[in-house]
Structures are given as C-alpha cells and as structure tokens.
Structure 1
Amino acid sequence: MSDAKPETSNSRRSAASIAIAVLGFAATLGVGFYAGQWIKETWFVPAADLEEGVRFRADLRGDEPQIGPNDALVTIVEWSDFQCPYCARVSAPLKEAIADYPGDVRVIFKHFPLAGHAQASPAARAGWAAHQQGKFWEMHDLMFANQRALLDADFNKYAEQLGLDVARFDKDRNSSEANTAVDSDHKSGSKAGLSGTPYFLVNGHNYNGALPAKQWRQIIDYELKAVKVLQDKGIARDQIYAELMKDAKATRGGGGGAQGPAKRRPGEPDPAKTYKVPLDARPQHGPDDALVTIVEFSDFQCPFCSKVNPALEQVKKTYAGDLRLVFRQRPLPMHPAARDGAMAALAAHRQGKFFEFHDKLFANPSDMTKPTFVAYATELGLDTAMFELDLESAEHAQMIKDDEAVANKLGARGTPAFFVNGRFLSGAQPFESFAALIDEEKAKAQKLVDAGTPRGQVYDKIMADAEEKPGA
C-alpha cells in the first residue's frame, strides 16, 4: 500500500504559481535586457558624424566578395584585416544594420592586411581562396572568431569544416592569383586614403572604425535621402552607384585641397600641415638643391615598404634633378631581423653603396643573416673587412635609434611613411598620389626661388615655419 499523499488543488495551484513566477521573472529579464539595449543605443551611443560633400571612388575589379544585390541603393566598400580587433568588432553591428534595409544595401569586401599583423596577409589569401569556392563570408566569420588561430593548419581546418575542396583551397591560397588580388585591394585602399582598418566608403563617403549599429543606420538613411533625389530625376536603381561616382575623386589622401583633409588619430600627422623633418646626413638620392625633398621612414622586412619601391623609382625618374629622397630607418618590432638589415644597409652606406644594398635587402627580406650581408657586400665590391666591422658599429646603432625617435615624434607609427617637403603621406601609395603632392610642393618651392631664395636653401626655408610635431 502506498504512503504517497494525493495531490491537492492547493498544491497544484502552488506549482502553477511558481511556474508563472519563474516565467514572469524570465520575461522580465528578457524585457529588461532589450529595454536596456534600447536605452543604451538611444541615449548613450552618440549620433553618427555624417560625411558630406566630396565622394571618393573605390577601385573595384568586380570579383570581390559581396553581400546584397548589384542594384543596391547604398554601396559600402569595406577594407579590413583579419587580425585587427576593431575589424572583428564592426562585423556584427554592420550586419545588424543592413538587415533592416533588405535589397537596398550591399557590402563589398576588400583586403587590407596591416604591416603589424604577421598572419593578416596569409588570412587574406585564405579568404580569397574560400571565395573561389563560394564560401568567403563563412570563412570570414570563422577567422574573425578565431583571430589567434590563423596559421596554415588552422586555415585548412576551417576549409574542411566548411566542406571545401581542401587541396584546391590550399593551392589557391598559395597562388600568385591570390597575391595579385590582395595586392590590388591594398592598392585601392591606399588610393582611397586608408590609414587604418576597418575603413569604409559608403556611396563614396569615407568612414573608419568599429561603428555601432545605430550609427550605421543613420549613415545608410542619410545616403538613401541623397539617392532619392536621383531616383526622382529618373535614374534607374542599377545606375545609382555609377551616377554617384561620375564626379567622385579618384584618390584621397596626401593632404587638403579639393579632397579635404583625411581623418586622423590623435598624435598622427595631419597631411594638410607641414612638419619639421630633419635630414641629419642620412642616405640620399638626388641633389642637395632639389625643390622637393621626400623623407622616407622604412623597414627592410615590411612588405608594404617593398611594394612602394616601384612607385618611388618612377618618382625619381619623373622628377630627376628636382627631387631628393632621404632614407631613414624605422625597423618595426614585429620584424625581428629588420634592425640587422638596417645596420647592414648603413654599413654599405659608409662605403657609398646604400641604395644598391637597399635593393638587395628588399629583394630577399626573408634572409637577413650576416653571411648573406657579406655576400651582398662582395657582389657590390665593398671592402668586406671594413663592412663586417661596421655591422657592429655603435654609431650606426645610435643612428637607427635617432631615426626611430624622429619617427615617433612625428607620429609616423607604421611603414612606409613619407614626408614630402614636410607633408605627410602614409603607406604604399601609387605613383599618382606621390605625383599630386610633389607637383603641389614643387610649385610652392619654385615661388620661393622666384622670390629670391637660393634652391639649396628651399628646404631650410620651408622647415623654418614648419610645426615641430602633430597636436593631440
């Protein structure tokens, strides 16, 4: 015979009350969470700083990863780096915002691996390889979710997880086509005025940083208002972006003028201003009385420093006689052998062969060892005994430290960084970006000469009125 007591109506009501209370508490938590989110976004997220006026054109190949239709009314071109924490942070808010505008917004993704992120370039190539099998965005999400696991084995694991043909994926990510696509994206970012990631052109208006969803909605709404004006004029949806780009600028950066100054971080040099950049008898190509002086801060293991060299060669040929290029060392901490390369280049400079040695180092940045340096010295006909002594020179080590101190004072954090008659130009810029700034500064310098300043004193004259360092 059972001892269990029959369930009473009171006990049933009690259980039901508890269940209702639990559900009510959970609902309250849920409502409280969403209410809190609404309050936070409404009252504590500032309004977007909307860009107006000049639009800038992104170089598009047509094969980039894309979300949204080709006839979208708002086109967001994004440059990103898979090791950049801010790039990872912006992904969810951007997706959340564009979900509110089905069919009206498209996002086009372009790679911009930064020099300080060793695995960003391999990750970009892995993203490109996944795109060849229609799985870019899935790979994009996996790599941003696992920013500390971006080695070759990790990429193949992600490819297998996504059901890709791993052998094809492995071949594609190591192909010259992958390098070409990533380089193309990087070049387009430089032309668009990028100084950091994430960076965006929204119907040609520039924005950067990990913007919250609220600000993205405000930006999109602002662009949709401008688009409505075009639609009212009879412009078809699939022609809207092309219409906006008709009067867009091809390049952004290199200072003010019609393009306007680029946004910058605190302590970063303003491209519209002129800064005091000392020369200090550093390696130089071109005459002392050149009208335009470019001071370059560079790192022999930086891939972007290598990429900019063809543009610099074109600059030297185009402006021969009117331009000098002064090289200052900026070995970055993530390139452990770059300082050795700098020491070797300065040792070659002692014997008048800096730029010849410079070319050899950039041609083989993975081998920065003493035997290789000595082999280069032999090939260049240097006194190898003197060269080996100079490899350990305390004077050269101090020169590098002095160069780093100058770069820090000027706010030139990355490489390559350039100052054109004191005007800042950042990154692996194309020839056109250099030419635009050189032409502007050359015209100013010629006015000084016409007013009586000797050519050999032009740079000193410009520096006399220049700013010591960027403001906060």
Structure 2
Amino acid sequence: MSDATTPAPTPNKRSPASILVAVLGFAATIGVGFYAGQWVRDRFFVPSAKLEQGDRYRAELRGDEPQLGPSDALVTVVEYSDFQCPFCAKVTDPLKDAMSAYEGDVRLIFKHYPLPGHTAAPPAAQAAWAAHQQGKFWEMHDLLFENQKKLDDKSLEGYAQQLGLDVAKFNADRNSDAAKAAVDSDYASGGKAGATGTPYFLVNGRPYSGSLPAKQWREIFEYEREQARQLESQGIPRAEVYKAMMKDAKAQRGGGGPGKAPSQRDDGPDPSKTYRVPLDARPQWGPDDALVTIVEFSDFQCPFCKRVNASLADVKQNYPNDVRIVFRQRPLAMHQQARIGARAMLAAHRQGKAWEMHDRLFQSPSDMSEEAVKNHAKELGLDVAMFELDLAAAETEQMVKDDEAVANRLKSGGTPSFFINGRYLSGAQPYDAFKALIEEEKAKAQKLVDEGTPRSQVYEKIMAGAEEKPGK
C-alpha cells in the first residue's frame, strides 16, 4: 500500500475525567513539592530555637486584652508589639502558623508597646483598642500591619469603615482617655516584663524577642507544653496551669521601658516635613556632592540599629554617587556601654577609620568595654596611644553630647532614626522604605540642580528652608 492510501493516525482524545486526574496529579505534585521544600528548609536551614529555661516573669494583665486561643490553654504567649515596627509585622504569620499546629493548647494575648520615635504607633494602638471595643481587634490588627506606611488619621478611619465598624463610636473610643490609659498600661507592663524593643514575648513567663520563624515557635510551644503537662499530671486543673506557673514568677525583669508612656510623649518629627539637621564634620560615607544626605542617629548596643545595617548596605550599593550617610551618636541610657562605643567611633574617626570601628562595634555589641574597644583599635592598625587619648578626651565626650542635643531638639528619642534630606524615618526599616524616600528626595534635589544650584550646595539649600524642630 502506498503512502497516499495509508489512513492518517487518529489523534488521541483525552476524556474530561482523564484531564481532571492529570490536573489533580499535577497539583498534588506541586503541593508535595512545596511541603517537601518547607521540610528541607526547616530541617537543614532554620536553626533550632534557643529555649529559655531560666526564670519566669509575670506579665501584668488587666483581663480585657485581645486574645486568640482558649483561656485554659497550656501555653500562654503574651506579645508586646508596635504597629509601626517592621519586625512585629514580620512575625505575625510565623506565629499564627505555629499556633495552628497547637490548636487548643496555645493562646496569644496582645499588648501594645509603641516605641519612642514611632510617632504613628500610639494612635494606631488606640485605633486597634477602639476596634476591640466592637469585637474587631484582630481584623484591625491585620490591616494595620499590612499598611504600616499608612497609619495617618484618615487611613485609620478608612480601616474602620472597611471593617464595617460604627465609625462615630470608633473615633470617640480611639480618642478617649480610656484608650490612652489602656495603651499606657500595656507599655508599663512591657517595661516591667523586660521589653526594650519589639516584638517581645513572654511564653509561660519566659522571655523571647524578635521575629522568630515558625519552626522555632513550634519548638518553644512543644517545650512549654510539656512543662505544663507535668503540672497537669500533679493534679492541677488545666485552667489553673498558667496561674500555677505565675505563682513563683518574678514581678519585674526590666526597668520600666524606654522613655515616657505613649500618652505623655511630646509630638515627634512629622515625616512629611523637612527639619534642619547639621552635619558638623561627623563620620561620612559617600561624596560631598551627593544629592541625598542621610543623617543617622544610632546606638552600638541597640539590636535594631544593628539590623538596619543590612538596609543601609543596599543603599550604599545602589546609590554610590547620589547618597551620603552621616553618622551621629545616640547612646541610650539603658545600654550601659553604648557611650564607650560612641566615643570609640569618634576616636577612630580622628585617624580615618570611623567606619571600620563602626563595623567592629556592631559585630561585638555585648562587650564594649574600654579594653574591648582598645583591642579593636589595635586590630585596625590605629595608633593605640593616640586612640586612648582621644577616647578619654573631654572634646570627644562633648561631641557625643552635641549629637544627643541635636537628637533631642529634633525630638528623636529612639534608635535608629534617620533624617533623609531632613525628612524623618524611624526604626530598622527595610530597604524599600529607604528607597522610596531617597527617590522622592533625589527628584527634588535634581530639580534644584537643574535650576542652577551646584550639587555640592544642594543640602545647604534644602536646610535653609527647613524647620528648626517639631512642634508649633
């Protein structure tokens, strides 16, 4: 038979059922792959939790705080959080994920801990409290963390409308003395419990901090649940386990929290305004004619100051010619050796190695004794005798005091804080937060250059029209 008379092969037609089976099989493969990948990541790449096995501390609870999980849970997590803190937002999903694996055995109690310098955090906390009065705290909680860059008054009211709240009641509640008192009470509780930053947790009274991954939360829950079960086995009713644990818990771990209670704070810098921030020949990275100047106020023993260095490294990489970073000292009173670190960087600055000292200090924040910083100086190849003289010099201490005076004038109480061409940015923000403000200010600066201002005079020009300090 010739090719011309050979019948064409009949195409294979797949039935709808076989197509459905194939799709489901593909989806199952994807699902198995996802969970297998998650298992591999948790097993080999996420370190195990460092389990706290020491003293327990009692969180002061009013009894009206927002709660997820049953009151007779074997594990009680008290969270101190700040709606303007990026790490608080980051921990929400891992924490909920871990709790889902211990349904019925873990409860989460939320308490407000708006940090100094986070000017939008107290109003956001009061808004969440107001939503709680209408049974929608957790829904508002999620909206606030999803929209951390939009915590202004108009946005807060918009979230209430979005959640179907009685807006008139919401506005009255969030501006009430009761709302302020509740947030202040939570803040005082956190200070006594040992919170100096956020997020901070007491898990059955044991302290943890930071945006821990789900694997570590599960390990913490497992450990504390076993501890609680031992009490159950001794005849203590499940609903009384937490109370029994707290019977011998310590009443105080910290010194009361950084700064004033939220309702007692002065208005901080307005992020929409430009403030006059002098440079005063402080340590500088980047060219003198940069279009954008970032003045950083930092503390070498502040964990959030250390964390933000990753974002600043991205800034340096992506804006080598258009951004300069000027470092000013803001050692907080709660960090006992931070002042030595501040003087060490300034002493190293006199020998042209401020940033090398900066990096060494952040690498070893737990030991910032004079002996430790002298060792850093030796390892960096500095003239150690000269370094020791500068470290102890009254002039160096005065420079630290001058930096603190500038920060106080600007009402920048916490660390880290930044002024980007005079615009305020607070906290250990991700790179994208820096990028957004840098791009905005860079465009304004370029316009000044196009109109005839030399690049080297852009910052001076901006400062000429800047406000001296926040407030009326």
Q: TM-score range by the shorter chain?
A: 0.5 to 0.7
Distance in 2 separating the partners of 1:93 and 1:203: 19
Distance in 2 separating the partners of 1:123 and 1:181: 13
Equivalent residue, structure 1, for 2:234:
233
Change (3 A) 1:424 1:182: farther
Distance in 2 separating the partners of 1:249 and 1:242: 13
Equivalent residue, structure 1, for 2:183:
182
Aligned 8 A contact 1:160 1:166 in 2: yes
Deviation at 1:308, TM superposition (A): 9.1
Equivalent residue, structure 2, for 1:61:
62
Distance in 1 separating the partners of 2:161 and 2:297: 48
Equivalent residue, structure 1, for 2:250:
249
Equivalent residue, structure 1, for 2:332:
417
What's the TM-score, normalizing by structure 2?
A: 0.56
Aligned 8 A contact 2:131 2:140 in 1: yes
* 1:392-471 mapped onto 2 (5 Å cutoff): 408=299, 417-418=332-333
Q: Which amino acid aligns with 1:59?
A: E
Percent identity (aligned): 54
Deviation at 1:72, TM superposition (A): 1.3
Paired residue total:
304
Aligned 8 A contact 1:45 1:214 in 2: yes
Equivalent residue, structure 2, for 1:441:
none
Change (3 A) 1:469 1:163: farther
Aligned 8 A contact 2:71 2:107 in 1: yes
Distance in 2 separating the partners of 1:306 and 1:398: 34
* 1:313-328 mapped onto 2 (5 Å cutoff): none
Segments of 5+ residues of structure 1 without an aligned counterpart are 1-7, 256-261, 263-297, 310-330, 341-393, 426-462
Segments of 5+ residues of structure 2 without an aligned counterpart are 1-8, 284-294, 306-328, 340-367, 377-472
Q: Which amino acid aligns with 2:191?
A: S
Deviation at 1:415, TM superposition (A): 8.1
Distance in 1 separating the partners of 2:100 and 2:187: 28
Change (3 A) 1:184 1:15: closer
Distance in 2 separating the partners of 1:423 and 1:247: 32
Change (3 A) 1:254 1:139: closer
Output the aligned Cα RMSD: 4.1
Distance in 1 separating the partners of 2:96 and 2:42: 16
Deviation at 1:469, TM superposition (A): 9.5
Bigger mean CA deviation after superposition, 404-413 or 245-254: 404-413
* 1:82-161 mapped onto 2 (5 Å cutoff): 82-161=83-162
Change (3 A) 1:467 1:182: farther
Aligned 8 A contact 1:116 1:334 in 2: no
Change (3 A) 1:18 1:192: same
What's the TM-score, normalizing by structure 1?
A: 0.56
Change (3 A) 1:465 1:142: closer
Deviation at 1:30, TM superposition (A): 2.5
Equivalent residue, structure 2, for 1:164:
165
Aligned 8 A contact 2:114 2:187 in 1: yes
Deviation at 1:35, TM superposition (A): 1.4
* 1:335-350 mapped onto 2 (5 Å cutoff): none
Distance in 2 separating the partners of 1:78 and 1:419: 21
Distance in 2 separating the partners of 1:124 and 1:405: 27
1:370-412 per-position Cα deviation (integer Å, ceiling 9, x unaligned) = xxxxxxxxxxxxxxxxxxxxxxxx9xx97999xx999746659
Deviation at 1:112, TM superposition (A): 0.7
Q: Which amino acid aligns with 2:28?
A: A
Aligned 8 A contact 2:297 2:330 in 1: no
Equivalent residue, structure 2, for 1:204:
205
Deviation at 1:58, TM superposition (A): 0.5
